[in-house]
Amino acid sequence: MPLDTAPYDALLLVSFGGPERAEDVLPFLENVTRGRGIPRERLEEVGEHYHLLGGRSPINDQNRRFIAAIEEDFRSNGIDLPVYWGNRNWDPYLTDALAQMQADGVQRAACFVTSAYSSYSGCRQYRENLAAAVAAVSKGGAAAPRLDRLRHYFNHPGFVEPMVDATLSALADLGDGARRNAHILFVTHSIPESMNDTSGPDGGAYVAQHRVVAEEIGERIRQETGHRYPTELVFCSRSGPPQIPWLEPDVNDRMGELAEQGVGGVVAVPIGFVSDHMEVIYDLDTEASATAEKIGVEFVRAATAGLDPRFVATVRDLLLERAAVERGEETARATVGGQPPSWDRCPAGCCPNLRVHRPAVGGRD
């Protein structure tokens, strides 16, 4: 019997986007930073990271492969539901995706966002973008599809368990000498302290959610290896003005301190990223790796969840869970670690836009 996805007749993958040609790099970065006053020379500096990869971000290709895997998972489990894709900052844009959905007669879609945690940039900004896309395709009176964001999945076993296995594999890749006193650094994107302080309904959710994931992985590693490795949360990809406090420590700075303390090995676990984004490919595989070589620390980067079948199946699980909720049915909600499952609709005031209020879908305000 086909699995029941009603009231949803489509899934929309919502992502960040990235350039696919060298000439698109600066326009893309201008989209990303619009209104933040980032100097052009800083954009050009960041643009060099993309030019090292031929001017092509890896994220769009990763999303294409992810969509193909979701579609195959749906087919294998009797789900006949089209999958659409829209980006915040580059083609295919959300407005174009919504226009296609509207033309195809989609009435109501569940939205899977490629950001697992609560913050303005990781949640509400996407919800604002979705609201703007709905408004754009509704001009002239045409009805846009209704959109529901699927819950945050940072503590879903389908996300956490691939990261546990990836961490174990990375530890195994360290040399025997380095492994004995290795540290595990859980890495995520730095954000302004003010954004973390207002993340979630009560503030501080961004860091708190990452720590739940880090603690769960650390405990699973202890159970598997019989050894409790030192672990901590560190950050990468700071991009704001120096006078604005951002979350610290930076992964490179922290590795330098560990080297001074005699630590010989580091495993970097990118729990803040669902696939090998630019922040992983450049900030960790290139920059942090070079830092480790310079300071004499053995460095291994754990894999992201990416196309792991358990992570792909998470999309299906969240879709069916939310569909059951919307039909008024009792349903199990899979989680691991010390926090309950996240909310379906963002509470009023959750992850606010600190500059200007904009409409957002999927919330109570």
Per-residue pLDDT tens for 85-114? 999 999 999 999 999 999 999 999 999 999
Dihedral, 109, 125, 353, 318 alpha carbons, nearest 10: 50
pLDDT for res 291: 98
The pLDDT assigned to 285 comes to: 97
* Residues forming a β-bridge with 109: 10, 147
- The Cα 152–Cα 322 span in angstroms is 12
Extract the runs of DSSP E, i.e. beta strands, from 4-160. 10-15, 83-87, 108-113, 146-149
For residue 36, the model assigns a pLDDT of: 67
Task: Look at residue 179 in the predicted model and tell me its pLDDT.
Answer: 96
Per DSSP, the three-state class of 113 is strand
Q: 35 pLDDT exceeds 80?
A: no
Q: What is the pLDDT of residue 215?
A: 98
272 pLDDT tier (thresholds 50, 70, 90): very high
pLDDT, residue 313, reads 98
- Rounded Cα distance between 146 and 225, Å, is 47
Counting every residue written for the chain, the total comes to: 365
More confident of the two residues 272 and 141: 272
Q: CB within 8 A of 16, min separation 6: which ones?
A: 59, 87, 88, 89, 114, 115, 277
Task: Report the C-alpha gap between 365 and 359 in whole angstroms.
Answer: 8
Kindly report, residue by residue over 313-363, the tens digit of the pLDDT. 999 999 999 999 999 999 999 999 989 999 999 999 999 999 999 999 999
pLDDT value of residue 50? 87
Tokens in use for 97?
């995706």
Cβ-based neighbours of 145, under 8 Å, separated by 6 or more: 10, 98, 101, 102, 106, 107, 108, 109, 134
Segment among 40-44, 103-107, 136-140, 204-208 with least mean pLDDT: 40-44
Is residue 44 a contact partner of residue 26, using CB atoms and an 8 Å limit?
yes
| Pair type for strands 83-87 and 10-15 | parallel
Using one digit for the tens of pLDDT, what is the confidence trace for 216-270?
999 999 999 999 999 999 999 998 778 899 999 999 999 999 999 999 999 999 9
How far is the first Cα of the chain from the last one, in angstroms, to the nearest whole number?
Answer: 38
Task: Name the nearest CA neighbour of 362 among 153, 127, 86.
Answer: 127
- Tell me the two tokens of residue 202: 């009560």
pLDDT of residue 37: 67
- pLDDT value of residue 38: 74
Residue 33's pLDDT band, with cuts at 50, 70 and 90, is confident
Give the pLDDT confidence score for residue 286 in this predicted structure.
Answer: 95
The Cα-based distances of 302 to 61, 167, 186, 224, 262 in angstroms read 20, 5, 10, 16, 22
Q: What DSSP letter does each residue of 141-210 carry, written as one string?
A: GPPPPEEEEPPP-TT-HHHHHHHHHHHHHHHHHS-HHHHHT-EEEEEEE--BHHHHHT-TTTS-HHHHHH
> Distances in Å between the alpha carbon of 325 and those of 79, 91, 211, 314, 321?
18, 32, 28, 16, 6
pLDDT of residue 174: 98
Taken in order of first residue, the domains within the chain and their CATH numbers are: 10-153+307-326 (3.40.50.1400), 157-301 (3.40.50.1400)
| pLDDT band at 34; cut points 50, 70, 90 | confident
The predicted pLDDT at position 1 comes to 61
Distance CA 350, CA 330 (A): 25
Say how many C-beta atoms besides its own lie within 10 A of residue 45's C-beta: 11
Q: What percent of the chain has pLDDT over 90?
A: 85
Residue 292 above 90 pLDDT?
Answer: yes
Tell me the Ramachandran region of residue 301: left when phi exceeds 0, alpha when psi lies from -120 to 50, beta otherwise.
beta
Percent of the chain past pLDDT 70, that is, above it, reads: 99
Answer yes or no: is pLDDT of 48 > 80: yes
The answer to whether 144 touches 96, Cβ cutoff 8 Å, is no
> Does residue 206 register a pLDDT over 90?
yes
Q: Give the predicted TM-score (pTM) of the model.
A: 0.96
How much is the average pLDDT of 157-185? 97
